[in-house]
Amino acid sequence: LVGSAPELGGGQPDASPTLSWSQGDMWSTEVALGPGAYDFKVLVYNRSSQAMQWEGLAGSRLLLVPSTPGLLLVSCQWGSSSLQTRSLSWICA
């Protein structure tokens, strides 16, 4: 997962957050982002050999993070520019 924001590696695969695999062929990571717009792409990257395969997208995906505090679940599919988001916000009293 590589994007232009520092939290997403600043465009550098070596500095990007690592995704973890789980059952169902799902890959995930947690990233703390403030409100704003963030572009990103997914790649397969071997840090030791530095071999990489970028998604075949013409551009990057754009993630819009709202100003409302909370968790945002973001999902995408390899090679597809579509992006799904779901707010998991909650209020503690």
In the prediction, which pLDDT does 81 show?
A: 87
Say if residues 87 and 66 touch (Cβ distance below 8 Å): yes
pLDDT of 89 reads 62
For the chain, the structural domain boundaries read: 2-87
Those residues with Cβ within 8 angstroms of residue 11's Cβ, 6 or more apart along the chain or in another chain: 2, 3, 4
Facing residues of 64 across strands?
Answer: 37
Q: What is the pLDDT of residue 62?
A: 93
Predicted model pTM: 0.79
pLDDT of 24: 80
Interval 6-64: pLDDT, tens = 999 999 998 999 888 888 878 889 899 999 999 999 999 887 888 999 999 888 999 99
Contact 43, 54 (CB under 8 A): yes
Class of domain 2-87: mainly beta
